Structure 1
Amino acid sequence: MTSLTCLNALVYDGSGNTPLSNAAVRVSDGVITHVGSTSEATHWPASTTTIDAHGAPLCPGYIDIHHHGGGGMAYDDGPAAIDHIMAAHLAHGTTRCVMSFVTDDFATMTKRIAAAAQIVRTNPHLLGIHPEGPFLDPGHKGAHPLQELKDPLPEYLHQLIDAAAGTMVQITLAPEKTGGMEAVTTLRSHGIVPAVGHTTCSYEQANEAFARGARILTHAFNAMNGIHHRAPGPVIAALRDQRVFLEVINDTIHVHPEVVATLFAEAPQRVVLVTDAMSATCNPDGDYMLGQLAVTVTDGVARLQEGGSLAGSTLTMDCAVANAITKVHVDPAVAIAAATSHPAQAIGMDDQYGYLRPGYPGDLLLLDPETFLPTMIYTDDTQITPAAAR
């Protein structure tokens, strides 16, 4: 039996509450068994490994519910790419994730989702599948091929649901499209979270989608109408609805830090940090593909070769959290919650993931107290060297 006890840590448990100082956490066989003070730890069972945090922050592993790839590969490349992508992101603190798929030929997309579903059922670090499309607005398609976009009609919707076989946790759609509102209702009836995104919907249409059960705003501000004083749009609708979580790509490129700060100020318990990472993440600048579309990455910024639209990102979750704390000036407890419990809540899995509590997975990140980047990653009873230390 392998076990770890971390002593003298500043424990952020993922709740967003004030951290516990001089705290200790014990993990055994991949599960957190004890959380308490370092003095209490003297009465816990002995562990095979003991670490002194010397007052550094300790938090749950990060959960990314929206990313497409990394390390030069994409989930679109098939099951053989999955372990490679997850390893690239794990080195940056992402211990659990949702696979996102860009819009493609519908038959191809359906086959990819069916193949991925088999992996999800056997890999506890994969929390599910997220098709980002094909039910998107052509005017806000971003890096999705125009010719493959469809209305969310029942015959298409049910093919994706059936292909995922119970592993689809969210799907991004434009609710104003023909059949969109009905699709939101159908998805909720199947236990899938509808996400409003790549949309031209109005404030009123977004409200209707949220009333029908949509619970996520996909990468807030990107690929949607912005805030106008006579047309509030979907961001204001999401901010006003306490049931809705707002994704944000916090790379300082997709959304200005002051705008990110506004999201946290308005909805501190509902912001979800995501990467929307594409295959170039953790790889050098150069030419890549995002689904059917050619992308060039320059200075870490991914853009379509045709049209110049942002094409996902090369962000990792450790930088998303560090940016929130050091550049957006969000309270560390809130920033960490936005990468742990909030994403778990958004997809309805916070009873299993997202917190540093007894009974939860033993995914631990020890952070540098100045940069808030990981100095130790621990999962599956294994210590992993963080990318920042390599």
Structure 2
Amino acid sequence: MEKGGSLLIRNARLVTPAGVRAGDCLIQDGRIAAVGEVKNPGRAPDLDAEGRYLAPGFLDLHVHGGAGADFMDGDPDAARAVALFHAQHGTTGLLATIVPGPLDRMRRAMAAAAGVPGILGIHLEGPFLNPEKAGALDPGWFLPPGRDAFRELVAGFEHEIKVVTFAPELPGALDLVAEIEAIGAVPAIGHTAATHQGAEQAFQRGARHVTHLGNAMTGLHHRAPGCVGAALLSAASVELVCDGAHLHPVFVRLVVEFLRGRGELHRLCLVTDATAAAGMPDGNYRLGDREVCLERGAVRLADGTLAGSALTLDQALRNATRSANLPLEDALVLVTASPAQVLGLDGVIGALAVGARADLVFLDPDLTVLTTFQSGEIAATGRQIKSR
């Protein structure tokens, strides 16, 4: 399709939160112009989906890298390579996730990711984190929370930063909430040793997202419900890394069934936490300034600590459908509408609806990605679908 042109996708199985139905989708000027039974306006090329699924493009709020590249490389070409790799797996929008490091390196990484197609903005995972829950991040670069340190870090990138993860129990951390909100970003808690009460206080002060629920935080115990318990009972959105290593499948199912039972499945976002190792053979890679090893599908430090993942969002989707026995229309919410809502972009992206950006993905019945569209243009392909 020519830039700014039209395309009619016909004979598709349209996947929306309401269910799966046969129909067509008309794209005009990079946006969805019609969905359902659509007549060709006469000038639009015709693409036969041959009964395959057509769904909104996936959105990932937590990506460090992929295809051997890391956003902390601070290289625009590396950032483009990461975005393209994830587009090949259906992700049309992602947040470049920046880990603690030298100030100039963090800022260089943000600059390199800014404006790259497919990158919606920045997720700052730190540096205001608790060393007790560092996980694979280097605590040597963690900072005590402070307004001046925050402003120095984000200066010039206020419109790029979308999510900021911090540990709410640290002295002065809750005062960061107002600073984060002032730049239009989402305050998120993570890498935290906060108690249940401490996490509740953070939510009351305005934190509204939880970074990789269950990992690098106080867990759910019957006498100490921790961050996990507080998060589930809050109104906050939560991330899950469904790679089979970060979380037991039963934990995934418990979270899904709890939220679905409350009518709050929209609070759940699948993320990859993908590193440079995603899409690569077993071997050594980097996460920021730390060497990590990919072996048998899991990424770890030398001491065995999990260090991000080699996950792609299409695989996370397949894993979640199996773990939680979710119908496709519900599972897709977790990688489309839910993250769009976190970013305040519901109805703009992550939706197969009139007026939404034509970020779309073709899927086979086994949820293999065939073709990925960004603003109505093919961004990545697997097996080809014929047009005429």
Asked if these proteins are the same fold (TM beyond 0.5), I'd say yes
**Aligned 8 A contact 2:252 2:323 in 1:** no
Match of 1:247 in 2: 239
Relative distance call for 1:31 and 1:151 in structure 2 (3 A) is same
Match of 2:141 in 1: 148
Shift of 1:388: 7.8
Name the CA distance, whole Å, in 2 between partners of 1:356 and 1:30.
Answer: 13
Shift of 1:91: 0.5
Q: Relative to structure 2, which stretch is displaced further, 257-266 or 336-345?
A: 257-266
Name the CA distance, whole Å, in 1 between partners of 2:373 and 2:207.
Answer: 34
- Percent of pairs with identical residues: 35
Shift of 1:48: 1.1
**Aligned 8 A contact 1:287 1:295 in 2:** yes
Shift of 1:297: 0.8
**Aligned 8 A contact 1:111 1:163 in 2:** no
Q: Does 1:202 align with 2:195?
A: yes
Match of 1:331 in 2: 327
Match of 1:262 in 2: 254
User: 1:178-205 CA distances to partner (integer Å, 9 max, x unpaired)?
Assistant: 1111112321233211111000001111
Q: Identify which of 116, 119, 127 aligns with 1:126.
A: 119
Q: Relative to structure 2, which stretch is displaced further, 212-221 or 379-388?
A: 379-388
Q: Does 1:315 align with 2:319?
A: no
Relative distance call for 1:266 and 1:46 in structure 2 (3 A) is farther
Name the CA distance, whole Å, in 2 between partners of 1:17 and 1:256.
Answer: 29
**SS of the residue aligned with 1:194?**
strand
Name the CA distance, whole Å, in 2 between partners of 1:284 and 1:360.
Answer: 37
Q: Which amino acid is the alignment partner of residue 92 of structure 2?
A: T
- Please give the TM-score of this superposition, normalised by the length of structure 1: 0.91
Name the CA distance, whole Å, in 2 between partners of 1:387 and 1:102.
Answer: 31
Match of 1:68 in 2: 64
User: 1:323-348 CA distances to partner (integer Å, 9 max, x unpaired)?
Assistant: 11234311211110110110111122
**Aligned 8 A contact 2:340 2:346 in 1:** yes
Name the CA distance, whole Å, in 1 between partners of 2:91 and 2:286.
Answer: 23
Q: Identify which of 8, 12, 20 aligns with 1:9.
A: 12
Name the CA distance, whole Å, in 2 between partners of 1:196 and 1:388.
Answer: 40
Q: Identify which of 168, 178, 187 aligns with 2:171.
A: 178
**Aligned 8 A contact 1:172 1:196 in 2:** yes
- Please give the TM-score of this superposition, normalised by the length of structure 2: 0.92
Match of 1:342 in 2: 338
| Equivalent residues in 2 for 1:82-97, closer than 5 Å | 82-97=79-94
Q: Does 1:383 align with 2:383?
A: no
Match of 2:19 in 1: 18
**Aligned 8 A contact 1:220 1:246 in 2:** yes
Relative distance call for 1:106 and 1:96 in structure 2 (3 A) is same
Match of 2:353 in 1: 357
Shift of 1:46: 4.3
**Aligned 8 A contact 1:7 1:50 in 2:** yes
Q: Which amino acid is the alignment partner of residue 18 of structure 2?
A: N
**Aligned 8 A contact 1:3 1:49 in 2:** no
Relative distance call for 1:283 and 1:232 in structure 2 (3 A) is same
Relative distance call for 1:146 and 1:365 in structure 2 (3 A) is same
Name the CA distance, whole Å, in 2 between partners of 1:159 and 1:53.
Answer: 53
- Supply the RMSD in Å over aligned alpha carbons: 1.8
**SS of the residue aligned with 2:370?**
strand
Structure 2, gaps ≥5 residues long: 260-264
Name the CA distance, whole Å, in 2 between partners of 1:80 and 1:384.
Answer: 16
Name the CA distance, whole Å, in 2 between partners of 1:177 and 1:292.
Answer: 24
Name the CA distance, whole Å, in 2 between partners of 1:76 and 1:378.
Answer: 27
Match of 1:285 in 2: 282
Relative distance call for 1:383 and 1:112 in structure 2 (3 A) is closer
User: 1:231-258 CA distances to partner (integer Å, 9 max, x unpaired)?
Assistant: 111112111122x111000111111111
Structure 1, gaps ≥5 residues long: none
Name the CA distance, whole Å, in 1 between partners of 2:253 and 2:381.
Answer: 27
User: 1:240-299 CA distances to partner (integer Å, 9 max, x unpaired)?
Assistant: 122x11100011111111111111112222110100000011111101111111111111
Shift of 1:45: 4.6
**Aligned 8 A contact 1:93 1:386 in 2:** no
